[in-house]
Each structure stands twice: as structure tokens, then as C-alpha cells.
Structure 1
Amino acid sequence: MLQVPFIRENKEDVIKRLAVRNIDATQMIEDVINLDEDRKQLQTQLDNTLAESNAISKEIGNLYKSGNTAEANVLKEKTTQLKEVTKEFTEKLNNTIESLNQLLYKIPNVPHPTVPNGSTEDDNEEIFKEGDIPVLHSEALPHWELAKKYDIIDFELGNKITGAGFPVYKGKGARLQRALIAYFLDKNTAAGYTEYQLPLLVNEASGFGTGQLPDKEGQMYHVTQDNLYLIPTAEVPGTNIFRDVLLNETDLPIGITGYTPCFRREAGSYGAHVRGLNRLHQFDKVEILRVEHPNRSYQALDEMVNHIKIILQELKLPYRILRLCGGDIGFTSALTFDFEVFSTAQNRWLEISSVSNFETFQANRLKLRFKNSEGKNELAHTLNGSSLALPRVLAGILENYQTKDGIEIPEVLIPYTGFNIIN
């Protein structure tokens, strides 16, 4: 959530930068400033009324002590009137604050100056590419056919048990999945991230804290009886560890990692591009999160990008990095880099990671602050990235490592799988 003082001080720049998202935010920003003016005026009126009421109460006490009962009773009637006025101002103030917050919840983060203009994913900017795209044999198959051929993932069984988008991993497919999770976690903890096991359901406050609510409410599975939400990513419970927390500057930076299943409704997702593992309702992901000092959060973002590069280099998968354009960047993000792995059998790029800096946007919602060197409370910066999302990494391995004799296992994973080929 944007801070009102920031909006006031940078009104024209905020409108200009939100235009990169293809949003005309002029009226919303004007409404924020006007509501904040109303809030300040009501707060002043309330404070003045309370001060007057307190002063009269003291005077009444003095009058009773001096025996001026009649005059004290007259003033008591005045305090009764002031209580009604106070109640009215308090109600108006609370309603104004609620209206202001509801409006602020609808305004996305302002993009970083390096975010390119654009409307769709086609306008994203490729900034890096690495790895040779393998030449496959003439009978090469997409991963959903390989899964069936080698009996390692059963999409039909998942459909029977739950529905489309809930695959069942079997045998060497399940072991390869487990190997990837362990490998990712080992790489992350070796890089200094502390491992957490996190809840898979979160409350409404957690959803608001990281910006999934109200923006992506329709994409989250909602347990209505308990008003809990299945997590769409470990970012939500992981970042909410720090909700309503005041850190010391010496506590920073903080890095955590965690493996969780993730759940997304993905409403309206149909077609060939979502076949097999390309888009699921339940999938596994290993996440990395950072809480950083504002002065070094973009250095931290570069470090996270380089960390994921190393993982993909070790897996020997061809990949590229995109800087997302204004029309494709997430609601809460100031700057996002997407990693995509090339699926040779499908002849297309598959997104496997998003690495984002949210600056103070989440921290303001979370009330995540630290005490700086001057002893003042300051909002921290939050960052997160997939390290990595498993379904499309697995799809890339199955397709790019296939041979006529079976699917070879990336060398770095063999100590985790205990086998070097699926056949």
C-alpha cells in the first residue's frame, strides 16, 4: 500500500509512473488527497473538542470544590453536549479513514523507473539468455506424453481424485519431484537463507498484508466456514512472519526459504498452453524471501537473480530473464524479473520464477518497520522469488533431457534421486 505522505509529496510522479501500468490514476490520487484532508480536519476538530471537554471537566471539579454547585451543573450540561459532538466526530473520522484505506488498497505499487512501457507479456524486455537448446531425436514427445509413457505422472488419476490441475506423481516421477525440492532448499540454505516450514492456510489479515487481498481474491481457494485461504505461494505466510514487527537495523538483512504446496484457482485458464504441468491448481514451489534496508534492496534483488541463475546453470537448462513491462507486472511489485526455461518439445518458453522488489508497498500494509540509526522507525523493503516453481522445471527436464533410451537426470540431481535415468 502506498503511503499518503509519499502520494502527497510526489503526486505528479505517482500519476506518471502508474501510467506505465496503463492506469489513469489521476482521480484516485485526487480522491486520496481529498480524503486525507478531510481526515486531518476531522482529527483536528475531534482533538479540539476533546481538549475543550477535558478543560471543562477540570473546571467542574474546581467549582464543586469551591461550593459553586449551580455553575458546575450548568457546565455538566455543556460536557454532555460535547460528548455527543465527540461521538459524531469520531464516527465521521473512522468512516473517512476506512474510505481512505479502501481506496489505497485499490492502488497498485508505482513501477520502478526501469520498468518498460507495455500492455501484455509480449512487451516484456529480454535482458539475458543462457544455455544451448538441445536438438531432440525425431520421436521426441511433450512432457505429458512422456509422463504417460514412463508412468511417472498420472493426470487422469488426479482428475478422478480431485479434478483437472491436480496431478499424481508416481515412482521415479515422485522421487524426481522430491529431489528437486531438496536440491532447491539445500542451495538456498547454503546461500544464507533460513529454512521454514510454513502453514498452508492463512487468515484474511495475512492475505491483505502481502497484497493478495483484495486484488487476487478470486484466484484463491477460500475455506468459507473458517474464513481461511489456501496459500497461492509461500510468500504469503513467509512475509507475514514479520507483520506488526519492529526490527532493529542490525537485524537486517533477513532471508528465509521454504517449500510449500501452492493452490491457485486459475479461473478461465484453458487451451493447449495449459496442458500437462504447464498450469496447475496445486503445485510445489520453493520460495526465497528477503527483508532489507531500503538502501540495499536493489542490490539484494540482483543477488537473488544471480542465485537463481546458478541453480539453472547447474541444472543445465536453457533459460532467459525478462524485465516485466508495466502491463504485466504484479499489483504489489515495483520491479519484477521473470525466469523462463525453454521447452524444446513444446517449442516455447515456460515461466519458472518471478523475482520481485516490493519496496515499502507490502511493509506498509504489514506495519513492518525497523529502528534506523537515528532511532526513528522506518518501513523495511520486502522481496521474494521462486527458487524454483517445480512443475515447469520438471517439464523442462523431462522434455530437454529425453533420449531414445529414456529421460536422463541432470547430473546435479543424481545424488538426490539415486538414479540417473527414467526408462
Structure 2
Amino acid sequence: MDPYESDDRTSTGKAQAEDMRAGRRKAARYVVPVAVVGVAAATIGLVPALADSGDPSLPDITAQQLIEKIAESDAQQLSGMVKISTDFGLPDLGGLESGFMSGAAEGDDGSSADPQSKLIELASGTHTLRVAVDSPDKGKISVLDNAAEYSVIRNGDDVWAYDSKSNEVYHSTAPESEGAREKAPEDVPATPKELADEALKAVDDTTSVTVDGTAQIAGRDGYKLLIKPKQSGSTVGAITVVVDAKTGVPLKFTLTPASGGAAVVDAGFTKVDFAEPAASTFDFTPPKGAKVTEGEDAKAPESGEGIGQGIGQGLDGLKVIGEGWNSIAEFDTGGQGLPSGSASGSDDFSGILDVLGDQVTGKFGSGTVFSTRLVNALITDDGKVYAGAVTKDALVKAADAAQ
């Protein structure tokens, strides 16, 4: 079956595939962007309480037609609530992982409102978001946490982030060019539509795409688009996107691992309204007494600081091994493997790494594999890194083949 066919096989052939690729390119232009700054790990999801509330009866549609519906959607205004949860299977390090990930932004000149550190919290647990979008250059997303609230607002060229708990503000300017904007940290996927767009970029001849029935999300009828790797060796089991039947906007995104169990990433609306949000939604003035940090004033981490000493120094040499869902990123840290206990300031640090990772050997020598339910990484003793949404065995084979 062609990867873009629906179950009734109504569309086949290379012409079909070319049409689908064109549809994906067009879809990228219609994505409703939300001004949320963070890191790629901060993917988000939907709690189990948001199970489908029904299977509405809708006209038949093919997978190609459904992807084209997403691409042709012109809905650029919406507001609503999103419930989120993620389960990457990360070990409990007693706060060590959040301290490490946020360390880059919390120096003497840093800010607790800096999204690079704040939104890493979305990488685990359950959260509630309030979202509003009026155009590609105007959006707001707020993370609600008991009595506290953290918001990121984009209004034209200005991007503001505010942490009510610490009363700190972080301000930056949006990139001028679209090319630069696509690479900006504030464009981390944060809504079902953005997550769906990222998934559609991965659709190629190594992927099966079908229509898998219907569902109702946030009171709206939708079609379920099922995306599955054809290749073995990927840790991705399947991705399901519920697409609003009327507007073509993705309402829910679910990624399940090949190993089974609960979803790794599950994102969906509990409430959604496609009316124009009030203009005042995107107004922001730093509260009285708040500490304001400008983006260019934030202190960058010095080379060699922290647990990741040397790890990022060789990223310029990054290359990709394999194709499709079995792609593996390879880069060299410059001969620096994992830090020893003495280098980290703790005699027990090496022992901790041994507990968290699995020791492996091969033609490449020896190294340690660190695993989650989705992404695995092999760090060799001579400082090479192999990472991807693939199994441990696939990483070892890639390292051996690179010799």
C-alpha cells in the first residue's frame, strides 16, 4: 500500500505521493503559530480524562484529502484550553534534571522567566494551558499551576514571558525573517496543530498514513489520521491526529511508543473557540516592581560548565545516518566522553551514570546507552554520540557501521 492511501485504497501511485508532499509543504505555511519559547524536549500532551466522547458519523474521506484539508485550513484565530501530560519514562533524579536543563538560563544575569528554562517543566507530568492566537505574529500561551501562572506573549515583534511566582519578566525580539523565525526557540510545537505539522514532515515512503475512523474532541467532530512507521527498529508505535471536520485544524495529537503502554505525548483541546480573541489578550506591561531581563542581556553559559561539559562543542559536525523513522543523529564531542566523578565534583557521579545507563560494547569500543520510552542516545567512551527514536540495538549497529 502506498503510504498516503486510506484503507479503501482509492488513491495510488507516484502522482499521489507527489501531491501529498506538496500538501505538506503547503501545510507548513498554514500552521497556527503560538509564541511559546522553550526547548524541543518540552513536548506536551493530553491527560487520559480527555478520552474520545463519541464516534460521530461523517462523510468518507481519504488520507490524502484529510492532509489536504489540514493544508488548506485558513483558521488563524482561536482560543481555548489544552490539558497536557507527558510520559517519557525519565528517571526521578530528585530535581537534578531540571537543575541541569535550566542551568543555562539561571546565572547571575539570568531570569526565572526565561522560557529556555521554565518550559522544560512541560517535559513531564500533567499541566493545563490557556491558548489564544490572532495571527502568525500575535499569540499567547499560559501555563496554569495552582495559584501561579507563567505566560509567553507575542505581539508583533515583541515576545514577553512573565512568571507570576517570582514576579520576573523576560523580553526578546522576534526574528525578522521567516527562515530565522523557523529556527527560533519560541517556535517549539505547543498545540495539536503544531505537533501535527511536525509529524507530517516525517511522512515519506517509510510511513503508512490512513484514516482511522472519527472522534469528538472539545465538542467538535473530527477525523482520525493514523501515521505509523513501516520500518522496524523505531521506538515510535503510532501517531494519531484528530482533525476538525469543519475547519481542518488538528484538535488532538497522540504519540504512542512501539513498546506499548500509555502515550508518550498526547495533546488536545478541552475547549476551543474559533472566534477572534479580544485585542487586549495580547497586551502586556511589566508589573510594578518586576525584574525585567532583556534577551540580549541574559548570560550565556560558559563552555565546559555543568554535566554536559564539552557535549555541545562538536555539533557543527552533526550528520544523519539512515532514513525515515530510523534516522540517527551522529556527532563528535571532540574526544570528551561522559565526565568522571572527579570532573563533576562527586565521587559517586560515575556510579549514578552507570545506574541510569546501560553499558554496551561493539566494534566501536564501549559506551553507555541512555534510554527513554521514545528517544535513546549512545555516548561512546571516546566522545561520539548517536541519538534517535530508535532501539538500543539500532544505535550500536550505527556506531559499529561508522567505524
Give the TM-score normalised by structure 1. Answer: 0.21
Give the TM-score normalised by structure 2. Answer: 0.21
Give the number of the structure with larger relative contact order, counting CA–CA contacts within 8 Å between residues 6 or more apart.
Answer: 1
> Which protein is richer in helix relative to its size?
1
